[in-house]
Amino acid sequence: MLMDNTELRLEIEKIKKKLDNQDKNMEIVFRYLDDLIEKKENTQPRKKFGYKTTKNKS
């Protein structure tokens, strides 16, 4: 019984470590997303390029 309990505790610790790592990874992802949103808000609109069409004024 003692052996089963020890194994169970070890498995629980492994799961906790994995969850901690996933939490940290999610924080990094959201931080990058916030940075991208901030950059998009601070950029100037691009000039249009390509063919220009003329409209007939009748």
| Residue 1 pLDDT | 58
C-alpha 12/C-alpha 22 separation (Å) is 15
Residue holding tokens 């939490």? 23
Global model pTM greater than 0.75: no
Q: How confident is the model at residue 53 (pLDDT cuts 50, 70, 90)?
A: confident
Q: How is residue 34 written in tokens?
A: 């916030």
Residue holding tokens 């940075």? 35
The three-state DSSP-derived secondary structure of the chain is CHHHHHHHHHHHHHHHHHHHHHHHHHHHHHHHHHHHHHHHHHCCCCCCCCCCCCCCCC
At 5-41, the pLDDT tens digits run: 888 899 999 999 998 889 888 999 999 999 988 887 7
